[in-house]
Copies of this chain bind each other. A is one copy, B any other.
Amino acid sequence: MSTDVIVLNGGSSSGKSGIVRCLQALLPQPWINLGVDDLIERLPPALLDSGSGITFGQGGDVVLGDEWRAIENAWTIGIAAMARAGARVIIDDNFLGGRASQERLRGHLDGLRVLWVGVHCSPEAAEAREFARGNRAPGMAAQQATKVHEGVVYDVEVDTTHAESLDCARIIARHVS
């Protein structure tokens, strides 16, 4: 029974992208990567910083409007369909709603073999990395660091606070079948 989907959940600046690139290089099968940031990049400008779309507030708040929710729902249905059609997909996400976000995604991925991965990072380290990136809304890292994991159930968990992305990816790869 092989894994169909890998879901990486972690706060902003917790190191998900580096882990994804390592997983893509380490895993023997081809995995494509689609995450919430990809959807944001594909949005029309009118949905960015708009009440109906997605807004990045001053203190790191992320506010999601009705248009965003509708599009994100369709987007997720599409990714699940890709996986059902045979594409191996790594989804990287921030579960802003914690357990409720996981349950919603679990519903979309029904029937697929999913590896749920928690990507932890201390708020302090995530905040320092956010600062060093210089292109993220300040505050998101600290605010999301623990919140996105509330009530979420994982198959494997890694912590990037003191470990390299590559070492985290190696741990995850051992759970991919």
Contacts and interface: CB of A to CB of B under 8 A. Distances in A.
Interface of A: 18-19, 21-22, 24-25, 27, 30-34, 38-39, 42-47, 53, 67, 70-71, 73-75, 77-87, 125, 128-129, 131-134, 162, 164-167, 169
Contacts of A162: 162
Nearest to A44: B24
A86 B75 CA distance: 9
Contacts of A27: 44
A18 B132 contact: yes
B39 A24 contact: no
A83 B71 CA distance: 10
A93 to B, nearest CB: 15
Given A25-B45, A43-B32, A164 B82 contact: no
Contacts of A77: 81-82, 84-85
A54 to B, nearest CB: 11
Contact of A166 (B22, B39, B53, B128): B128
